Amino acid sequence: DPGRGRVRARDLDSGAESWTSYDKLVIATGARPIRPELPGMDAPGVHGVQTLEDGQALLDTLARTTGRRAVVVGAGYIGVEMAEAMIKRGYEVTVVNRGREPMATLDPDMGRLVHKEMEGLGITMVNDAGVTGLLTGDDGGVRAVATADAEYPADVVVLGIGVRPETALARAAGLPLGEHGGLLTDRSMRVRGYGNIWAGGDCVEVLDLVSGQERHIALGTHANKHGQIIGANVGGDYATFPGVVGTAVSKVCDLEIARTGLREKDAHRAGLRFETVTIESTSRAGYYPNASPMTVKMLAELRTGRLLGVQIVGREGAGKRVDIAAVALTAGMTVEQMTMLDLGYAPPFSPTWDPVLVAARKATTKIRATAGRPSPRTS
């Protein structure tokens, strides 16, 4: 009840309800896993994985399940990591994915690299397939995942479809929500239009510093920062959260997957015109032992050359290179400015030209060519 500055709570044991007044209120209700309302979703053997308790429940099921067939629904961060976990436990794994390729946080051409790696691990990838329901056996437990075209036998099903902001309470209270269902706040994490209510974590939308639009990104790194900022402001100090560039890293076995900034469809949605380049490089100097391949894709804005996004897929040493691009995005750098970044170099750590800088050089050349300017001389 924002108008009267109070909240109502229900005692879970007795059912009694009571009102408590507040001077300052913090909403940190997090996010809830997406669990489609389809037949069989609540059957034994079907698991979501968001909390430690969810993980333990899945482990308990695996310990007592005699069958060795696992189906993972969804191929985002959680789905890919759960597929890896099932393969390592000796399961026959099928991933059913609505998208063209796994890892929708990447462009499809980069997601294809993840697809090939997963198949190389023995994981069966089923893309462009929406789940229509889960089939159950005589004991009521899950026995298969159904799509419009096929059924995939399953002794255990793991849902990795993503999350939505948990803002039902905020919506009922009339607080402002964004396009993605998250609470809208100002830079101090104060709910817009309310002087004594703050919100943070997975229940809010945040400013994308590259596109200028609001996004919902459920990551612990952001939530931790929100907590610090809210604590400072509620306590009488002053702090702000400037926004994000959308950086994330993940892995499937030894394949590292990273992205920051905009994908092609994000840039189109924001009305930006851009060029893309993709390069192949290595994690170390080519002559140094154990140099591993990596692919870097870069997006740059036409005319200005402003960096818009970077995606990296490769082996050891690939993933954290995305932090170079994250800093460049936050600083609003152009790809041409990036080419002269003074990065650390030694053969065990990088080629003479770091893969991210190689991509920046190629993007610079392409932007200059598009603008009709001579390309910089390169050696």
Percent of the chain with pLDDT over 70: 98
Rg (CA), the chain: 23
CATH 3.60.15.10 fits 248-371, yes or no: no
Q: What is the average per-residue pLDDT within 139-146?
A: 94
Confidence band for 162, pLDDT divided at 50, 70 and 90: confident
Instruction: Look at residue 286 in the predicted model and tell me its pLDDT.
Output: 85
Confidence band for 33, pLDDT divided at 50, 70 and 90: confident
Instruction: Look at residue 374 in the predicted model and tell me its pLDDT.
Output: 61
Identify the CATH number of the domain defined by range 21-31+164-234: 3.50.50.60
Cα distance between residue 95 and residue 121, in whole Å: 12
Q: So where are the chain's domains?
A: 21-31+164-234, 35-161, 248-371
Percent of the chain with pLDDT over 90: 90
Instruction: Look at residue 51 in the predicted model and tell me its pLDDT.
Output: 87
Confidence band for 290, pLDDT divided at 50, 70 and 90: confident
Instruction: Look at residue 298 in the predicted model and tell me its pLDDT.
Output: 98
Q: What letters, b where the CB count within 10 A reaches 16 and e where it falls short, cover 96-132? A: bbbeebbbbbbbbebbbbbbebbeeeebebbbebebe
Confidence band for 375, pLDDT divided at 50, 70 and 90: low
8 A C-beta contact, residue 328 and residue 336: no
Asked if residue 377 has pLDDT above 70, the reply is no
Instruction: Look at residue 378 in the predicted model and tell me its pLDDT.
Output: 43
Terminus-to-terminus CA distance in the chain, angstroms? 66
Q: What is the average per-residue pLDDT within 72-96?
A: 94
**Average pLDDT over the chain, rounded to whole?**
94
Confidence band for 371, pLDDT divided at 50, 70 and 90: confident
Do the domains spanning 35-161 and 248-371 agree at the CATH topology level? yes
Contacts of 76 (CB under 8 A, 6+ apart): 102, 103, 104, 105, 160, 161, 162
Contacts of 334 (CB under 8 A, 6+ apart): 300, 304, 305, 306, 307, 364
8 A C-beta contact, residue 53 and residue 38: no
Q: What is the average per-residue pLDDT within 253-282?
A: 96
Q: What is the average per-residue pLDDT within 285-304?
A: 94
Instruction: Look at residue 270 in the predicted model and tell me its pLDDT.
Output: 95
Q: Which residue has the tokens 């390169």?
A: 378
Asked if residue 372 has pLDDT above 80, the reply is no
Q: What is the average per-residue pLDDT within 133-154?
A: 94
Q: What is the average per-residue pLDDT within 306-327?
A: 96
Cα distance between residue 173 and residue 250, in whole Å: 37
Cα distance between residue 343 and residue 357, in whole Å: 9
Q: What architecture is domain 35-161?
A: 3-Layer(bba) Sandwich (3.50)
Region label for 251, one of left (φ > 0), alpha (ψ between -120 and 50) or beta (otherwise): beta
